[in-house]
Structure 1
Amino acid sequence: MLTSSFSTLHWWTAAALSGVVLAAAAQFLATTTKGRLLAALLPLVGAVSVILNSAARGYEEKAPLVLYTATALGLSLCRVVFSKYLRRQRELVRSGKSMEQVTGKQTALFLLTFAVIVLALAILL
Protein backbone atom coordinates (compact mmCIF):
# COMPACT_ATOMS: atom_id res chain seq x y z
CA MET A 1 0.00 0.00 0.00
CA LEU A 2 1.39 3.33 -1.06
CA THR A 3 -0.40 5.20 1.70
CA SER A 4 0.24 2.96 4.70
CA SER A 5 2.06 5.80 6.47
CA PHE A 6 -0.62 8.43 5.74
CA SER A 7 -1.86 10.38 8.73
CA THR A 8 -5.37 11.82 8.92
CA LEU A 9 -4.00 15.13 7.60
CA HIS A 10 -2.54 13.34 4.59
CA TRP A 11 -5.93 11.73 3.89
CA TRP A 12 -7.71 15.08 4.17
CA THR A 13 -5.23 16.48 1.65
CA ALA A 14 -5.69 13.49 -0.69
CA ALA A 15 -9.48 13.78 -0.41
CA ALA A 16 -9.40 17.51 -1.17
CA LEU A 17 -7.12 17.02 -4.17
CA SER A 18 -9.20 14.14 -5.52
CA GLY A 19 -12.29 16.34 -5.15
CA VAL A 20 -10.63 19.03 -7.25
CA VAL A 21 -9.69 16.42 -9.87
CA LEU A 22 -13.28 15.15 -9.92
CA ALA A 23 -14.66 18.68 -10.29
CA ALA A 24 -12.30 19.30 -13.21
CA ALA A 25 -13.28 16.00 -14.85
CA ALA A 26 -16.97 16.80 -14.41
CA GLN A 27 -16.54 20.27 -15.94
CA PHE A 28 -15.81 18.61 -19.26
CA LEU A 29 -19.34 17.24 -19.31
CA ALA A 30 -21.05 20.54 -18.50
CA THR A 31 -22.47 22.47 -21.45
CA THR A 32 -24.31 25.23 -19.57
CA THR A 33 -23.54 27.59 -16.71
CA LYS A 34 -25.95 25.69 -14.48
CA GLY A 35 -24.23 22.44 -15.47
CA ARG A 36 -20.82 23.87 -14.60
CA LEU A 37 -22.10 24.92 -11.19
CA LEU A 38 -23.59 21.48 -10.54
CA ALA A 39 -20.36 19.84 -11.70
CA ALA A 40 -18.39 21.99 -9.28
CA LEU A 41 -20.71 20.93 -6.43
CA LEU A 42 -20.41 17.22 -7.26
CA PRO A 43 -17.34 16.61 -5.05
CA LEU A 44 -18.97 18.40 -2.12
CA VAL A 45 -22.15 16.34 -2.38
CA GLY A 46 -20.07 13.19 -2.62
CA ALA A 47 -18.01 14.13 0.42
CA VAL A 48 -21.09 14.83 2.53
CA SER A 49 -22.65 11.55 1.42
CA VAL A 50 -19.59 9.45 2.26
CA ILE A 51 -19.01 11.16 5.62
CA LEU A 52 -22.65 10.85 6.73
CA ASN A 53 -22.88 7.24 5.60
CA SER A 54 -19.61 6.38 7.33
CA ALA A 55 -20.68 8.13 10.53
CA ALA A 56 -23.96 6.21 10.53
CA ARG A 57 -22.04 2.93 10.24
CA GLY A 58 -19.40 3.87 12.82
CA TYR A 59 -16.37 3.75 10.55
CA GLU A 60 -13.07 5.00 11.92
CA GLU A 61 -11.76 8.48 11.22
CA LYS A 62 -9.70 7.73 8.08
CA ALA A 63 -12.13 5.30 6.43
CA PRO A 64 -14.50 7.96 4.98
CA LEU A 65 -11.54 9.87 3.56
CA VAL A 66 -10.12 6.74 1.93
CA LEU A 67 -13.55 5.85 0.48
CA TYR A 68 -14.08 9.35 -0.85
CA THR A 69 -10.60 9.54 -2.36
CA ALA A 70 -10.93 6.18 -4.11
CA THR A 71 -14.40 7.00 -5.42
CA ALA A 72 -13.48 10.49 -6.67
CA LEU A 73 -10.34 9.24 -8.37
CA GLY A 74 -12.25 6.27 -9.80
CA LEU A 75 -14.86 8.53 -11.38
CA SER A 76 -12.14 10.84 -12.68
CA LEU A 77 -10.27 7.94 -14.26
CA CYS A 78 -13.49 6.66 -15.83
CA ARG A 79 -13.82 10.09 -17.44
CA VAL A 80 -10.41 9.51 -19.03
CA VAL A 81 -11.16 5.91 -20.07
CA PHE A 82 -14.44 6.89 -21.72
CA SER A 83 -13.26 10.25 -23.09
CA LYS A 84 -13.93 9.42 -26.74
CA TYR A 85 -17.56 8.45 -26.03
CA LEU A 86 -18.11 11.41 -23.71
CA ARG A 87 -16.61 13.84 -26.22
CA ARG A 88 -18.99 12.54 -28.89
CA GLN A 89 -21.97 12.96 -26.55
CA ARG A 90 -20.89 16.49 -25.60
CA GLU A 91 -20.55 17.48 -29.25
CA LEU A 92 -24.05 16.20 -29.98
CA VAL A 93 -25.46 18.40 -27.21
CA ARG A 94 -23.47 21.43 -28.33
CA SER A 95 -24.76 21.01 -31.87
CA GLY A 96 -28.33 21.04 -30.59
CA LYS A 97 -28.99 17.34 -31.05
CA SER A 98 -30.00 14.82 -28.41
CA MET A 99 -27.43 12.57 -26.82
CA GLU A 100 -27.35 8.95 -27.87
CA GLN A 101 -29.32 6.65 -25.56
CA VAL A 102 -27.10 4.64 -23.24
CA THR A 103 -27.59 0.92 -23.69
CA GLY A 104 -27.61 -1.67 -20.95
CA LYS A 105 -24.31 -3.07 -22.19
CA GLN A 106 -22.72 0.39 -22.03
CA THR A 107 -23.98 0.89 -18.49
CA ALA A 108 -22.66 -2.53 -17.47
CA LEU A 109 -19.29 -1.75 -19.06
CA PHE A 110 -19.08 1.58 -17.21
CA LEU A 111 -19.97 0.00 -13.86
CA LEU A 112 -17.51 -2.85 -14.39
CA THR A 113 -14.76 -0.41 -15.38
CA PHE A 114 -15.51 1.78 -12.38
CA ALA A 115 -15.44 -1.23 -10.04
CA VAL A 116 -12.11 -2.45 -11.45
CA ILE A 117 -10.56 1.02 -11.14
CA VAL A 118 -11.76 1.50 -7.56
CA LEU A 119 -10.55 -2.01 -6.65
CA ALA A 120 -7.14 -1.24 -8.15
CA LEU A 121 -7.04 2.04 -6.22
CA ALA A 122 -8.05 0.27 -3.01
CA ILE A 123 -5.14 -2.13 -3.46
CA LEU A 124 -2.71 0.69 -4.27
CA LEU A 125 -3.93 3.10 -1.61
Structure 2
Amino acid sequence: MLTSTLSTGQWWVAAIVSGIALALAAQSMATTTRDKLIAVSLPLVGAVGIVLNSAARGYEGRTPLVLYTATMIVLVVLRILFAPYVSRQLALKRSGKPMEDMTGKQTALFFLAFVATLISVAFLL
Protein backbone atom coordinates (compact mmCIF):
# COMPACT_ATOMS: atom_id res chain seq x y z
CA MET A 1 0.00 0.00 0.00
CA LEU A 2 1.69 3.15 -1.22
CA THR A 3 -0.51 5.47 0.83
CA SER A 4 -0.35 3.84 4.26
CA THR A 5 1.43 6.85 5.75
CA LEU A 6 -1.00 9.52 4.50
CA SER A 7 -2.70 11.60 7.16
CA THR A 8 -6.40 12.38 7.15
CA GLY A 9 -5.63 15.84 5.81
CA GLN A 10 -3.66 14.37 2.94
CA TRP A 11 -6.54 12.01 2.17
CA TRP A 12 -8.84 15.02 2.00
CA VAL A 13 -6.52 16.59 -0.57
CA ALA A 14 -6.41 13.32 -2.55
CA ALA A 15 -10.21 13.08 -2.43
CA ILE A 16 -10.68 16.65 -3.64
CA VAL A 17 -8.12 16.29 -6.43
CA SER A 18 -9.60 12.97 -7.59
CA GLY A 19 -13.11 14.48 -7.53
CA ILE A 20 -11.94 17.39 -9.68
CA ALA A 21 -10.24 14.93 -12.05
CA LEU A 22 -13.50 13.01 -12.45
CA ALA A 23 -15.47 16.22 -13.05
CA LEU A 24 -13.00 17.17 -15.80
CA ALA A 25 -13.06 13.69 -17.32
CA ALA A 26 -16.85 13.68 -17.31
CA GLN A 27 -16.96 17.21 -18.78
CA SER A 28 -15.04 15.93 -21.78
CA MET A 29 -18.01 13.67 -22.56
CA ALA A 30 -20.71 16.32 -22.13
CA THR A 31 -22.40 17.62 -25.25
CA THR A 32 -25.22 19.73 -23.77
CA THR A 33 -25.60 22.13 -20.87
CA ARG A 34 -27.62 19.49 -19.03
CA ASP A 35 -24.84 16.94 -19.56
CA LYS A 36 -22.28 19.43 -18.25
CA LEU A 37 -24.30 19.95 -15.07
CA ILE A 38 -24.59 16.20 -14.59
CA ALA A 39 -20.84 15.81 -15.18
CA VAL A 40 -20.03 18.38 -12.51
CA SER A 41 -22.39 16.70 -10.06
CA LEU A 42 -20.89 13.20 -10.42
CA PRO A 43 -18.17 13.69 -7.77
CA LEU A 44 -20.75 15.21 -5.40
CA VAL A 45 -23.19 12.34 -5.92
CA GLY A 46 -20.31 9.90 -5.38
CA ALA A 47 -19.38 11.65 -2.14
CA VAL A 48 -22.95 11.51 -0.84
CA GLY A 49 -23.21 7.83 -1.75
CA ILE A 50 -19.96 6.93 -0.02
CA VAL A 51 -20.78 8.99 3.07
CA LEU A 52 -24.19 7.30 3.40
CA ASN A 53 -22.77 3.84 2.75
CA SER A 54 -19.91 4.41 5.20
CA ALA A 55 -22.32 5.64 7.88
CA ALA A 56 -24.55 2.61 7.36
CA ARG A 57 -21.58 0.25 7.70
CA GLY A 58 -19.95 2.12 10.57
CA TYR A 59 -16.81 3.15 8.65
CA GLU A 60 -14.96 5.99 10.31
CA GLY A 61 -11.79 8.01 9.97
CA ARG A 62 -9.98 7.81 6.66
CA THR A 63 -11.92 4.87 5.25
CA PRO A 64 -14.63 6.92 3.48
CA LEU A 65 -11.94 9.19 2.01
CA VAL A 66 -9.98 6.19 0.74
CA LEU A 67 -13.11 4.66 -0.80
CA TYR A 68 -14.06 7.94 -2.47
CA THR A 69 -10.57 8.56 -3.81
CA ALA A 70 -10.27 5.02 -5.16
CA THR A 71 -13.67 5.23 -6.85
CA MET A 72 -12.89 8.55 -8.52
CA ILE A 73 -9.46 7.35 -9.69
CA VAL A 74 -10.93 4.17 -11.20
CA LEU A 75 -13.50 6.17 -13.16
CA VAL A 76 -10.88 8.62 -14.44
CA VAL A 77 -8.53 5.81 -15.50
CA LEU A 78 -11.37 4.07 -17.35
CA ARG A 79 -12.20 7.33 -19.14
CA ILE A 80 -8.59 7.53 -20.27
CA LEU A 81 -8.45 3.85 -21.30
CA PHE A 82 -11.61 4.13 -23.37
CA ALA A 83 -10.90 7.60 -24.81
CA PRO A 84 -10.87 6.43 -28.46
CA TYR A 85 -14.20 4.63 -28.09
CA VAL A 86 -15.80 7.53 -26.22
CA SER A 87 -14.48 10.05 -28.75
CA ARG A 88 -15.92 8.01 -31.62
CA GLN A 89 -19.32 7.83 -29.89
CA LEU A 90 -19.29 11.57 -29.14
CA ALA A 91 -18.44 12.36 -32.75
CA LEU A 92 -21.47 10.34 -33.85
CA LYS A 93 -23.71 12.13 -31.35
CA ARG A 94 -22.44 15.58 -32.33
CA SER A 95 -23.04 14.82 -36.01
CA GLY A 96 -26.67 13.94 -35.25
CA LYS A 97 -26.24 10.22 -35.83
CA PRO A 98 -27.18 7.64 -33.19
CA MET A 99 -24.41 6.22 -31.06
CA GLU A 100 -23.42 2.62 -31.72
CA ASP A 101 -24.59 -0.11 -29.36
CA MET A 102 -21.87 -1.93 -27.48
CA THR A 103 -21.13 -5.42 -28.71
CA GLY A 104 -20.77 -8.36 -26.38
CA LYS A 105 -16.99 -8.29 -26.82
CA GLN A 106 -16.87 -4.57 -26.00
CA THR A 107 -18.95 -5.14 -22.89
CA ALA A 108 -16.68 -7.98 -21.77
CA LEU A 109 -13.60 -5.86 -22.44
CA PHE A 110 -15.04 -2.97 -20.45
CA PHE A 111 -15.89 -5.29 -17.54
CA LEU A 112 -12.40 -6.84 -17.55
CA ALA A 113 -10.78 -3.40 -17.73
CA PHE A 114 -12.99 -2.21 -14.86
CA VAL A 115 -12.04 -5.18 -12.67
CA ALA A 116 -8.33 -4.89 -13.53
CA THR A 117 -8.33 -1.14 -12.84
CA LEU A 118 -10.23 -1.59 -9.58
CA ILE A 119 -7.81 -4.25 -8.36
CA SER A 120 -4.79 -2.18 -9.42
CA VAL A 121 -5.99 0.98 -7.71
CA ALA A 122 -6.98 -0.93 -4.56
CA PHE A 123 -3.54 -2.55 -4.49
CA LEU A 124 -1.71 0.73 -4.99
CA LEU A 125 -3.76 2.71 -2.49
Counterpart for residue 31 of structure 2: 31
1:12-34 deviation digits (Å, cap 9, x = unpaired): 11011000000000011100011
Counterpart for residue 46 of structure 1: 46
Identify the range of structure 1 (60-69 vs 10-19) with the bigger mean alpha-carbon deviation: 60-69
The reply on whether 1:22 has 2:19 as its aligned counterpart is: no
Counterpart for residue 76 of structure 2: 76
The alpha carbon displacement at 1:51 in A equals 1.1
The alpha carbon displacement at 1:105 in A equals 3.0
Counterpart for residue 12 of structure 2: 12
- TM-score normalised over the length of structure 1: 0.95
Alpha-carbon distance between aligned partners in 1 of 2:112 and 2:53, rounded to the nearest angstrom = 23
Structure 1 outlier segments of 4+, above 4 Å = none
Counterpart for residue 90 of structure 1: 90
Aligned residue pairs total 125
Unpaired stretches in structure 2, ≥5 consecutive residues? none
Alpha-carbon distance between aligned partners in 2 of 1:42 and 1:4, rounded to the nearest angstrom = 27
RMSD: 1.0
Alpha-carbon distance between aligned partners in 1 of 2:114 and 2:34, rounded to the nearest angstrom = 26
Give the secondary structure class of the aligned counterpart of 2:100. Answer: coil
Counterpart for residue 105 of structure 1: 105
The alpha carbon displacement at 1:72 in A equals 0.5
The alpha carbon displacement at 1:9 in A equals 0.9
Alpha-carbon distance between aligned partners in 1 of 2:81 and 2:47, rounded to the nearest angstrom = 23
Give the secondary structure class of the aligned counterpart of 1:86. Answer: helix
The alpha carbon displacement at 1:104 in A equals 3.3
Alpha-carbon distance between aligned partners in 1 of 2:107 and 2:22, rounded to the nearest angstrom = 20
